[in-house]
Structure 1
Amino acid sequence: MIASMNTEQATTTASLEAIAQVVATVERTQRAKDAEGFLALFHPQALWTTGHGKVLIGFEAIAEFTRTVLPTADWDGEVTYEVVHAQFLRPDVAAVKVRQLYRSPDGDTEGAPLYVMTREPDGRWLLTACQNTPVAADPA
């Protein structure tokens, strides 16, 4: 039983590290306005809802939007992403709450994305169902 628990703990730790790396890659690709690097993180049947409520169903819709919007985004690229909570729904499915902070001379803007990620048979974690939600300046 102890060996089994250690194996489960090691698997969970490795999964959490891999999930954190995906979120770090989201940050890196957003800063670089690297559409292709960002798109490499998505499951082929992904669902994405933008911070403005635009629903994108499937990789092609996400790719078309991202290739149009990300390279021409009118912000300076100063953004950070931090995993604040990860909850395993199954060993191969995780709900990941992220803190997103855009910095600009006009003030900071915060987001609270939720990423549902799935682990593929090859071990990669991919963005599968995501909601990018802005945080109101006064969330009363």
Structure 2
Amino acid sequence: MKNIIHTEEAPAAIGPYSQACLVNGTLYISGQIPVDPATGKLVEGIDKETHQVMKNLEAILRKAGMDFSNAVKTTIFLKNMDDFAVVNEIYASYFDNGQYPARETVQVSCLPKNVDVEISMIAFTN
């Protein structure tokens, strides 16, 4: 059975998709961009953008009764691979236990709303 996960603590979807879907203990989180859900505005600067994306992911995980320790797979989309080191450092800081999920990072030519970073995630719970 599929359960749609939605929280006001993360930005609303900007298209015909859900923030996340929970299926048999697996949570599929749509790509999150650096929109501050309190204001609906984009944050700017790769460091602030990355923190906002991670906060958005965290809010969705929390709504599903999970946290970053449940993450098993992420995909990071960057507009500029020169931002990799900054994004990587901030991303790593959200995983307290050092048990990082599997991941790939790819450079893309453009992202929604012309942001610099987008991250999607798959998480699992028993």
**Which range, TM-score by smaller chain?**
under 0.3
Structure number, greater radius of gyration: 1
> TM-score scaled to structure 1, two decimals?
0.24
> TM-score scaled to structure 2, two decimals?
0.25
